[in-house]
Amino acid sequence: MPTFTLPSFLAEAASRIAPVNPQHEAAARARLDSLTKPVGSLGRLEDWATQLAGIQGGAVPLAVDPALMVTIAADHGVVAEGVAATPSSVTALQVVNFMHGGGAINNLCASAGMQLWVVDAGVDADLPQGPGLVHAKIARGTANFTRQCAMTEVECHAALSLGLNLADKANTQGVRLVGLGEMGIGNTTASTALFCAYLGFTPQEITGIGAGIAPSQLPHKAAVIARALERHKDVVAGGNPVQVLAALGGLEIAALAGLIIGAASHGMAVMVDGFIATAAYVAALHIAPAVAPYCFFSHGSAEAGHGKVLARLGQKPLLDLGLRLGEGTGATLGVSMLRAAVQAYNGMATLQDLGITLKR
């Protein structure tokens, strides 16, 4: 089995992730069973409340708010291989749109009552200053990973550190749940490569249309990913998850992976969005396996392969709405579902309150 040593800053953050105590989850189940309803009748809402109770150390009341969406943007050099439906310049245009409140993520965050941070981790453009954007550019996009590693070690570490720092900032503001969002033309290609490297899929199994390439282009996109995997096969075989992330990932994906690790280290719940955010989760999981119980999967993306990935991870999404936009849009809807679970858990009367005794 491959062995690896984490950079000290990652090892330190990973060491701060507290294991979830099964006793807290058992106590939450007991409380749910005591509420004025048939046992188990709230279905998966009970599962989500139990998971939150484990994350939050058995605290009553449970809390989802304040909830924060972090949408991180970056460009991808592999777009030069003709794998995307739109040019890389669309990344910058969309980020500016987010700054002005015109994106789907802006409006769904407003609907869900979530604060939104939009972060430039690696957009290939000079973006305007403004209160709607966190300027944290590490590089002007990644390199073309069919020819070299997508990121240098320094760049990958910087992106992971950015995510950890965002989690630290969120924690100082009392955030209880972080949603993961992203924007970056070409990032379904990078995500597919990461799923293949970390989970053993072939490109042909899980390559999808991304932002809208024609189905006739799928064989070309899969072939590009296969070339990248062949070029970096020694890195993949080495099993070092940070090196795999540097070779095949994206700056926004690495930053989201750091954000997951950082959020878990602070005891915050994480709402994973769709295909690309799940790639960040898989990277974080391989770096720090203890993140797993802190994460919820908001929806099953319509992007080909996401269902297969979730099945391999043993995860069932909260929702399945045919979404494939990214940005964190599905995660906003997942947060609304968790709020419902928390409200029922915190607010319902118990059978004892009503003086009811049942034989169960």
pLDDT digits (tens, 9 = 90+) for 2-53: 678 999 999 999 999 999 999 999 999 999 999 999 999 999 999 999 999 9
> In this model, does residue 185 exceed pLDDT 90?
yes
Residue 177: DSSP 8-state: E
Residue 197 lies in a domain: yes
Residue 145 lies in a domain: yes
**pLDDT at residue number 115:** 98
Rounded mean pLDDT of the chain?
Answer: 97
Averaged over 132-144, what is the pLDDT? Answer: 97
Q: State which residues form the domain around 184.
A: 67-338
Q: Which of 2, 57, 62 is nearest to 32 (CA)?
A: 62
Q: Which residues contact residue 106 at a Cβ distance below 8 angstroms, ignoring those fewer than 6 apart?
A: 98, 116
Residue 59 lies in a domain: no
Look up the CATH number of the domain holding residue 182.
Answer: 3.40.50.10210
Averaged over 311-335, what is the pLDDT? Answer: 97
Q: CA torsion, points 296, 298, 302, 304, in degrees to nearest 10?
A: -10
Q: pLDDT tens, 210-223?
A: 989 999 999 999 99
> In this model, does residue 125 exceed pLDDT 70?
yes
Residue 347 lies in a domain: no
**pLDDT at residue number 1:** 52
Catalytic residue among 25, 81, 155, 327: 327
> In this model, does residue 359 exceed pLDDT 80?
no
Averaged over 318-341, what is the pLDDT? Answer: 97
Residue 220 lies in a domain: yes
Residue 9 lies in a domain: no
Total number of domains constituting the chain? 1
Cα 305 from Cα 108, distance rounded (Å): 25
- Which residues in 312-346 are b (16+ Cβ under 10 Å) and which e? ebebebbeeeebbbbbbbbbbbbbbbbbebbebbe
> In this model, does residue 199 exceed pLDDT 70?
yes
The full length of the chain comes to 360
pTM for the structure as a whole: 0.97
Residue 205 lies in a domain: yes
Instruction: Assign 60 a pLDDT band (cuts: 50, 70, 90).
Output: confident
Averaged over 172-197, what is the pLDDT? Answer: 98
Q: pLDDT tens, 281-317?
A: 999 999 999 999 999 999 999 998 999 999 999 999 9
Is residue 86 within 8 A of residue 211, CB to CB? The reply is: yes
230 is catalytic: no
Residue 298 lies in a domain: yes
Averaged over 256-263, what is the pLDDT? Answer: 99
Helix (H) or strand (E) holding 308: helix 306-313
Averaged over 241-255, what is the pLDDT? Answer: 98
Averaged over 62-88, what is the pLDDT? Answer: 97
Helix (H) or strand (E) holding 107: helix 104-112
Averaged over 117-122, what is the pLDDT? Answer: 98
